[in-house]
Structure 1
Amino acid sequence: MTATETRRTEPVPEGPRVRIDAGELRGLDQGTVHAFRGIPYAQPPVGPLRYRAPQPVARWDGVREATAFSAAAPQNKKYTLIGFREYQPTSEDCLTLNVVTPARPAGVPRPVMVFIHGGAYLMGSSATPLYYGNSLVERGDVVFVSINYRLGALGCLDLTDFATDVRPIDGNLALRDQVAALEWVQRNIAAFGGDPGNVTVFGESAGGNAVTTLLATPSAHGLFHRAIAQSSAPELTVDAAVARGRGKRVVEILGGPEAIDTATPEELGRAGNQLMGELNREQSGVVPYGPVVDGALLPEDPEVAIAAGRGADVPLIIGTNRTEATLFTKMPGMGKPSADRVAHSLGVELAAADALGAAYPGYPSVASLNRIVGDMMFWAPSLRIAQAHSRHAPTYFYRYDFAPKVLDVLGYGATHATELMAVFGVYHGVTGWVVGALGDRRVAMRVSDGMQRDWITFARTGRPAGEWPQYNGTSRATLVIDDRNSIVYDPSAEVRRAWDAFEAARR
């Protein structure tokens, strides 16, 4: 018998098992952690369930393998890269989540951290290696959950005007999916050693928008107890009339209502891309998808609901990155920003954009225009959410300024999504050695250690570690995260006042 044949006859180690409400799961033993992947939290939304709210999972017999990620939601293939020339499969059957938990038994129930990925509601997957969560679990003794949800036309397009008795259609499907995933956590996370009474929901970009939207979603209240919104884009949440108009236009592009059921995900994606092109000819930077203020699942605009005290009164961390927009303006085909293009993005005449730009040093330099675009999408609306929420619950605001030298050399700085590398601890791995090529790996690891400590402590206790004063509309205390953290009161005050005046004039 050869050595190879000997190896083939050795028994495969038994993976960890967990019994949940739908049946038994077998996961992966990764040494210090156990991972359970591709767990369905709702029935596959296919066939007659394509445009319906998520439905309960059917029970299964025996042991279900939970050792591999399931398909990502339908999207362009280029957005599903998960390794060298390796792409995550996509399918409408995508309503799954993943759980990572410490391998050692829990003495007491552990805090739970539920991550919602970003991607403009057009792209993204919980299978992205950045989002594995092992580092948070190992460092924080927490249970980590990451979710998939429907994207694009299948998750965010409002087609309710085309509902019939034969073909019922529900709206706000991506938001409904997120609520269903949080309900699954409440029912099942104790089986993984997690505490259903201590759940933190956190997300970045569109995932951050999901967090600020969930704060104002009544059916989500009580499903989570702390919230972290990283680079939330609050204005992705849209008015019902606007959403219905976009839905009607996509149906026109498809050729009529009969195509709603027969269109493939690829055809729906192309129709959505055409809609996005049309919208951007009217106003730059418009993303056609997002949660809808439908008067039912989401009764009112989150900013309005939060300001009025009708949001979830849970502790909140919210913040943005210093140079958010450089990621977008450096994308192929985007070109350098100009004052005219910024005015187009703002939906105003050039004179109004110039009045706002006067608060930015060097306007209309490329750096100042990039800053305006980033502030428009992320910083200014996040400040409004922070101010509104701080009147009703503990709120902590941050600005992420840290950029490894390699990002500065490339002209990105602390751009959009770069804080994720710190939150998920990747600077301690191979990425850290790449960063270290220019000599700042230890600094990057220190920044990462600090963010993880704050995020984990917040998930455990409802307040960050260390000295981080609560945000309010008077002091506006902000944690500036850099190679050395600092507390700054009302940073960029002149710019903030300019945005306040701009918004007041626009409304």
Structure 2
Amino acid sequence: MAVPDWAEQREALAFGPACPQPESRPGSIYSTELGPVSEDCLSLNVWAPEDASNAPVFVWIHGGSLTTGAGSQDMYDGARMAREQGLVVVTLNYRLGILGYLAHPGLSAESAQGISGNYGLMDQTLALEWVKRNIGAFGGNPDNVTVAGESAGALSVVLLMTSPKAKGLFDKAIAQSAYMVTMAALKETANGLPSAESTGAELAKRMGASDIKDLRAMSAKDLVYKSAKAGFFPFAVIDDVYLTDQMVATFDKGEQAPVPVLAGFNEGEIRSLRFLLPPAPKPDAYEPAIRKGYADLAEAFLEIYPADSLDSSMLATTRDAMYGWSAERLVASQSAFGYPSYFYLFDHGYPAADRAGLHAFHASEIPYMFGTTSEAVAPWPEIPDTEEENGLSKAMMAYWASFARDGRPAAQGSAAWPAYEDKATGMVFADEPQPWPMLSRNRFDLHEEVVCRRRAAGNIPWNWNVGILSPPLPPKDSKCQ
């Protein structure tokens, strides 16, 4: 429910509370102090340049596996972007976990549209509607809005691009480490996944609830804790209202938002997310598992991900199947429909991260593109205050801001960023930004073929079931050319 309009001056100098979520995992580099937490958490934050007028608007959606995070985290401070790049920066909260993504037949029955789940996506859509109506009062241009995010925030960007409810609410999109994995349908089995309603009903039973009334009798804290203990994994749902098809299918049909895209991934994505990996097999078991899972594509797979560097191959397999393929698929799809789009790889390391074995880890690009490297405090690996690090950050801020301004990423004094095309051109951010033709093309082609065959078969999801976890690959299909 939207807050009623008011006429008097209202103090808005403190961040609103974060949405209910589990505590950070001990030792995680992503742990952070969120401050107050409340179910009354749907707020947004605005930073504007002094005397802003018709400024580009940059709306950031935080990551955290749709389970954790908040728009108030230090790394997302928009002050420097606003001050130095002339953007109006907006960050927002959205419902998380069971409160944001539970589908259940009891909830669907209460809905006038007969749907449930996707509550977090509804919140993000409502925030963009608020921006459209109100950002002009802060000096922003409601007709020049870029929606951006990282990880689950980037996933959210892709979902917004494919949602009929978000059409016309933004003009450009930035997706950093997105993952276009399989979604469940609300009411029927599809693509090898049970219906979201049946999953929600089973979850409620595992939590000791016989119906929605029992769930509502639990505190938000108990809901968060019990659902996590019961293994709930929040994700968007194909409900035929907010989402009408798998993300990749919507792009294939050309029904996505008609906007330019900037998207990419990090070289070390999985180094900080090793829980996404299966246990390492014995060296002599790796190649047989790949041949069993990938059939006629096994030779191509083993050439890219060889058995003689097992740990590196397993890290790269999951990285490329989730983040690399999703980023390039997104950019390739938009480019094919005539929307100039831009692809990148973040491959930058610095001493503290590299010593910890976390070179270019998941989310490590965020402080650079926000200009908040000094806000990245322990347990985040400390970013040194050097000319080199500050120079990379300044360049990335400029690229991101210029894309938000006019759809073309550019940074004075840095290399020109080529638009994506058949040659698969992109930009690599290592010690400094450099163009890189043919960026990851053979890897993309391999995973595109795997996803295409699974989609054509109709009964196998394209999630984390890759590498040694891959089920037998369906045979070649005429749809996959």
1:468 to 409, 414, 417: 417
2:401 to 435, 456, 464: 456
Match of 1:51 in 2: none
CA RMSD between the two structures: 3.1
The structural deviation recorded for 1:358 is 4.0
Secondary structure (helix, strand or coil) at the match of 1:78 reads coil
Unaligned runs of 5+ in 1: 1-54, 277-286
Going from structure 1 to structure 2, the CA distance change for 1:190 and 1:270 (only over 3 Å counts) comes to same
Match of 1:213 in 2: 159
Match of 1:266 in 2: 221
Match of 1:295 in 2: 240
More moved, 136-145 vs 371-380:
371-380
Going from structure 1 to structure 2, the CA distance change for 1:384 and 1:336 (only over 3 Å counts) comes to closer
Contact 1:151 1:174 survives alignment (8 Å): yes
Match of 1:351 in 2: 292
Match of 2:479 in 1: none
Contact 1:137 1:144 survives alignment (8 Å): yes
* Distance in structure 2 (CA, Å) of the matches to 1:159 and 1:502: 32
The structural deviation recorded for 1:207 is 0.2
* Distance in structure 1 (CA, Å) of the matches to 2:393 and 2:126: 31
The structural deviation recorded for 1:162 is 4.3
Match of 2:347 in 1: 401
Contact 2:352 2:381 survives alignment (8 Å): no
* Distance in structure 2 (CA, Å) of the matches to 1:166 and 1:243: 15
1:497 aligns with 2:445: yes
Secondary structure (helix, strand or coil) at the match of 1:77 reads coil
Q: Superposition pairs for residues 102-501 of structure 1, below 5 Å? A: 102=49, 104-106=50-52, 108-164=53-109, 170-235=116-181, 237-240=183-186, 241=188, 242-254=195-207, 255-257=209-211, 258-276=213-231, 288-329=233-274, 337-339=279-281, 351-352=292-293, 355=298, 356-361=301-306, 363-392=308-337, 393-427=339-373, 434-436=382-384, 441-465=386-410, 467-472=416-421, 474-501=422-449
* Distance in structure 2 (CA, Å) of the matches to 1:430 and 1:169: 40
1:93 aligns with 2:34: no
Q: Which has the larger radius of gyration?
A: 1
> What's the CA shift string for 1:258-304, capped at 9, x where partnerless?
3132122222223322342xxxxxxxxxx721221211111122221
| Equivalent position amino acid for 1:311 in 2 | Q
Identity of aligned residues (%): 32
> What's the CA shift string for 1:453-491, capped at 9, x where partnerless?
11100111111115222213x211111111132222222
* Distance in structure 2 (CA, Å) of the matches to 1:314 and 1:259: 44
The structural deviation recorded for 1:87 is 4.3
Going from structure 1 to structure 2, the CA distance change for 1:363 and 1:180 (only over 3 Å counts) comes to farther
* Distance in structure 1 (CA, Å) of the matches to 2:147 and 2:32: 32
The structural deviation recorded for 1:336 is 8.2
Secondary structure (helix, strand or coil) at the match of 1:422 reads helix
The structural deviation recorded for 1:312 is 0.8
* Distance in structure 2 (CA, Å) of the matches to 1:229 and 1:451: 14
Report the structure, 1 or 2, having the larger strand content. Answer: 1
Secondary structure (helix, strand or coil) at the match of 2:46 reads strand
> What's the CA shift string for 1:190-233, capped at 9, x where partnerless?
11111101111000000000001111111211111111000012
The structural deviation recorded for 1:96 is 0.4
The structural deviation recorded for 1:109 is 0.9
Unaligned runs of 5+ in 2: 189-194, 456-481
1:76 aligns with 2:19: no
| Equivalent position amino acid for 2:48 in 1 | T
* Distance in structure 2 (CA, Å) of the matches to 1:406 and 1:322: 16
* Distance in structure 1 (CA, Å) of the matches to 2:368 and 2:46: 20
TM-score (norm 2): 0.82
More moved, 247-256 vs 141-150:
247-256
Match of 1:24 in 2: none
| Equivalent position amino acid for 1:272 in 2 | S
Contact 1:443 1:483 survives alignment (8 Å): yes
TM-score (norm 1): 0.78
Aligned residue pairs, count: 430
> What's the CA shift string for 1:114-136, capped at 9, x where partnerless?
00000000000111111111111
| Equivalent position amino acid for 1:252 in 2 | K
Going from structure 1 to structure 2, the CA distance change for 1:237 and 1:157 (only over 3 Å counts) comes to same
Contact 1:360 1:495 survives alignment (8 Å): no
More moved, 156-165 vs 407-416:
156-165
Going from structure 1 to structure 2, the CA distance change for 1:359 and 1:86 (only over 3 Å counts) comes to closer
1:506 aligns with 2:451: no
Contact 2:327 2:343 survives alignment (8 Å): no
Contact 2:98 2:223 survives alignment (8 Å): yes
More moved, 212-221 vs 147-156:
212-221
Contact 1:275 1:288 survives alignment (8 Å): no
* Distance in structure 2 (CA, Å) of the matches to 1:309 and 1:164: 32
Match of 1:41 in 2: none
The structural deviation recorded for 1:245 is 2.6
* Distance in structure 2 (CA, Å) of the matches to 1:165 and 1:228: 35
* Distance in structure 2 (CA, Å) of the matches to 1:490 and 1:421: 27
The structural deviation recorded for 1:501 is 3.5
The structural deviation recorded for 1:381 is 2.3
Going from structure 1 to structure 2, the CA distance change for 1:133 and 1:236 (only over 3 Å counts) comes to farther
> What's the CA shift string for 1:158-184, capped at 9, x where partnerless?
124544459987431111100000000
> What's the CA shift string for 1:216-261, capped at 9, x where partnerless?
1112111111110000122164433442232112211232103132
The structural deviation recorded for 1:351 is 2.6
More RCO (CA 8 Å, sep 6+): 2
* Distance in structure 2 (CA, Å) of the matches to 1:441 and 1:236: 42
